[in-house]
Structure 1
Amino acid sequence: MAINNQLTHKRIRIRIPRDYHQEPVISRLVSDFGLTVNIAAAILGANAVGDGWFDLDLQGTNQQIQNGLTYLKDLELEIWDGTNVGIW
């Protein structure tokens, strides 16, 4: 069985609750899961008031992307991946 190391992209949108504003959520996608993360758009309230929204383009192997998504799900963040209704 061949291991697929081909790089792929996945576009997602995540909601970062105010409680997570001081956590390096996006940085961990890079350092812990080896992903390249491009922030395509972001909304973050001044003085960390309210939730933040990030449109991210993730680049990595399918396994790296799946591991990163599992990490985000384990944090119980809202994630939209384009299959959800009403996405950007």
Structure 2
Amino acid sequence: MDDSVLLGVTREAVRVAVLLAAGPLGVALLIGILAALGQAMTQMNEPTVGLVARLGGVAVVSVLLLPWLLARWLDFAALAFGGFPDLL
């Protein structure tokens, strides 16, 4: 196996992982910042407010993006498992 092939497969795996995690993590970041800002303005120091809001936001975004996320994941899996005979 050539090193460039291994590097390409690894690069693609990292790219797919970042792509799949970007949506839910971005929503968690945005909701976390808004919850922290709201807590700072109201001087309410309750950690469950931000946690519940982030969990709900990530759940909603994950359900909405699930078909797209699953299609990207299956495309990568087919590419990765389909390329094994060529690597040997």
Normalization by structure 1: what TM-score? 0.26
The structure where strand makes up a greater share of residues is 1
Normalization by structure 2: what TM-score? 0.26
The structure where helix makes up a greater share of residues is 2
